[in-house]
């Protein structure tokens, strides 16, 4: 149930329907469970783990392009599985680092950090005030959906992986009717109906 006509019906009952939502195995379809229409999404981006030496912002132009068109952006969050341990390799041993899964909070923090980096380069960004929606374990009995500003999502506990983030573009009235059910209490986000 991720087709647009079924989206509001399925998502409005997602937390009340005893059987729960049945979603496909892909986050691309499961993203509609938060109330956003899949027809209103632009290009998907991937957010990599930052390191002290490497903090790319190459994914931001695609995010900004989507927002300028009023489109939502699905952000796939980095997963590190079977990453080689280079220190062990230098000693002739094959070892792997423990698996790491980016959280919504980490992604939100990195988007805010990217905004600061770009501001220092005198490049404008518009996503800082956008409504964002964090998704965790979609299609599972423990799935979690929370909407708020990036800053609000930084400190929100979404529990175990897997996590995904959506940066909202223009939110249509029928989307808002569902999305507002997931809004953090006393959120600083203020909905403005599309013109």
Beta strands in 117-195 (DSSP E): 132-136, 144-148, 163-167
pLDDT in single tens digits along all 195 residues of the chain = 454 544 545 444 444 444 455 555 677 788 889 999 999 999 999 999 999 999 999 999 999 999 999 999 999 999 988 888 878 788 888 888 888 999 999 999 999 999 999 999 999 888 988 999 999 999 899 999 999 999 999 999 999 999 999 999 999 999 999 999 999 999 999 998 877
**Structure token pair of residue 68:** 């300028």
The CATH number for 38's domain is: 3.30.950.10
Asked if residue 188 belongs to a domain, the reply is no
Q: Which domain holds residue 125?
A: 4-182
Element (H, E) at 80: strand 79-80
Beta strand 132-136 with 73-77 is unpaired
In a domain? residue 190 = no
Domain count, the chain: 1
State how far the Cα of 187 lies from the Cα of 7, in Å rounded to an integer: 24
Contacts of 130 (CB under 8 A, 6+ apart): 67, 149, 150, 167, 168, 169
Q: Identify the DSSP state of 172.
A: P
């Amino acid at each position: 149930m991720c087709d647009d006509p079924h989206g509001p019906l399925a998502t409005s009952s997602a937390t009340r329907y005893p059987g729960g939502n049945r979603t496909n195995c892909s986050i691309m379809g499961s993203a509609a469970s938060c109330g956003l229409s899949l027809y209103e999404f632009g290009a998907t981006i991937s957010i990599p783990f930052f390191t002290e030496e490497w903090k790319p912002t190459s994914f931001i132009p695609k995010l900004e392009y989507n927002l300028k068109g009023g489109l939502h952006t699905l952000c796939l969050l980095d997963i590190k599985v079977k990453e080689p341990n280079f220190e062990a390799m230098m000693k002739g041993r094959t070892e792997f680092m423990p698996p790491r899964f980016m959280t919504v909070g980490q992604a939100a923090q990195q988007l805010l950090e990217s905004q600061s980096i770009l501001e220092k380069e005198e490049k404008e960004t518009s996503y800082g005030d956008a409504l964002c929606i964090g998704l965790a374990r979609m299609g599972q009995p423990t799935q979690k959906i929370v909407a708020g500003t990036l800053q609000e999502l930084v400190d929100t506990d979404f529990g175990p992986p897997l996590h995904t983030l959506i940066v909202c573009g223009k939110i249509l009235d029928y989307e808002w009717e569902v999305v507002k059910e997931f809004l953090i209490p006393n959120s600083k986000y203020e909905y403005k109906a599309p013109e």
